[in-house]
């Protein structure tokens, strides 16, 4: 981030945590803090909810993500939640974990809609 100085950061993180049964990774809040501290003025961090998985319920982690993101946003950080969970179904997964081509296309649309207004700056 120091070299690239991105205006927009997209973060989709936590699938491995959910796979391991951890639905409230302690590192998320600290990671959000670190990323936001390195954003240039006007920069934004978008954090996506986890997509559905075939073998585990991701809703507890997604509830945790909502809580952390809302807390950080309430504290004044430029962090925004993206509902990636609702965008995909289990039919959009290639192997029960990773999206198929169609799933990735759906994710790209959700990301684009989230940042669309930031692209015209």
Report pLDDT digits (tens) over 36-82: 999 999 999 999 999 999 999 999 889 999 999 999 999 999 999 99
pLDDT value of position 23:
62
Residue 121: is its pLDDT beyond 60? no
Percentage, residues of the chain above pLDDT 90: 79
Dist. CA 118–CA 121, nearest whole Å: 6
Q: Domain 8-118 falls in which CATH fold? A: Rossmann fold (3.40.50)
Q: Is pLDDT at 6 greater than 60 in this prediction?
A: yes
Contact 86, 43 (CB under 8 A): no
The whole-model pTM stands at 0.93
Check if the beta carbon of residue 21 is closer than 8 Å to that of residue 58. no
Judge whether residue 17 has pLDDT over 70: yes
Query: Does the pLDDT at position 94 exceed 90?
Result: yes
DSSP letter string, 4-50 = T--SEEEE---HHHHHTT-SS-THHHHHHHHHHHHSPTT-EEEEEPP
Indicate the average pLDDT of the chain. Answer: 93
Reduce the DSSP state of residue 75 to 3 states and report it: coil
Phi and psi (nearest 5°) for 8?
-130, 130
């Amino acid at each position: 981030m120091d070299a690239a100085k991105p205006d927009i950061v997209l973060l989709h993180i936590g699938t491995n945590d959910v796979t391991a049964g951890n639905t409230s990774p302690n590192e998320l809040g600290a990671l959000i803090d670190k990323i936001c501290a390195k954003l240039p003025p006007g920069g934004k961090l978008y954090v996506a909810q986890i997509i559905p998985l075939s073998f585990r319920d991701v809703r507890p982690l997604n509830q945790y993500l909502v809580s952390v993101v809302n807390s950080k946003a309430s504290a004044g950080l430029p962090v925004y939640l993206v509902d990636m969970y609702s965008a995909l179904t289990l039919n959009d997964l290639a192997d029960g974990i990773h999206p198929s081509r169609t799933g990735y296309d759906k994710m790209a649309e959700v990301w684009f809609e989230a940042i669309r207004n930031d692209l015209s700056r």
